[in-house]
Structure 1
């Protein structure tokens, strides 16, 4: 971990807009619990859409879900490396 000064353009809840040094454009900070909720929603829609959607639409939806999952997995890994608990409870795998 290191500390760096960032430019904060908006600190609205769940919609922080900031620019990291060295980046041309600002980004949006997505809190972990919101990231998890977005992934869960995409995962549920994927499961429901498997039979209902055209193949190309289902593939696009799956890519969206998988992209959110990649961010979520990275988030959980980084928190684990720093002994920080995740801010959500995942359902049991059973």
Structure 2
């Protein structure tokens, strides 16, 4: 942990608006289990775009899913580093996505 303090500007269930030190604009904090659920929903839409052979949508969703996947990997590494369990059952490493459009 860095020891830096962030300002909580607003808080609602499962998310908040937080001003990180050194940042001009605040960010949105999403609970890890919510982020995991969003990832799963994007993967579902990605699979649907593949089945429909909608290549443009597929690659837009793939880019989004890869971004979420990277965030979840960092989240899980951070929790592991402080010996905290995941708030969801399946690790992102069990759900990794990659470009499989041509295999459809």
Residue 73 (1) aligns with residue 82 (2): no
Query: Residue 24 of structure 1 aligns to a residue in which SS?
Result: coil
Query: Residue 11 of structure 1 aligns to a residue in which SS?
Result: strand
RMSD: 1.6
Match of 2:5 in 1: 5
The separation in 2 between residues aligned to 1:26 and 1:56, in whole angstroms, is: 32
The separation in 1 between residues aligned to 2:25 and 2:59, in whole angstroms, is: 29
Match of 1:59 in 2: 59
Residue 47 (1) aligns with residue 34 (2): no
Native 8 Å contact 2:8 2:17 kept in 1: yes
The separation in 1 between residues aligned to 2:63 and 2:53, in whole angstroms, is: 14
The separation in 1 between residues aligned to 2:49 and 2:55, in whole angstroms, is: 10
Show structure 1 runs of 5+ residues with no match: none
TM-score by length of 1: 0.88
Show structure 2 runs of 5+ residues with no match: 95-104
Match of 2:15 in 1: 15
Match of 2:90 in 1: 90
Query: Residue 23 of structure 2 aligns to a residue in which SS?
Result: coil
Could you list the runs of 4 or more consecutive aligned residues of structure 1 that deviate by over 3 angstroms after TM superposition?
A: none
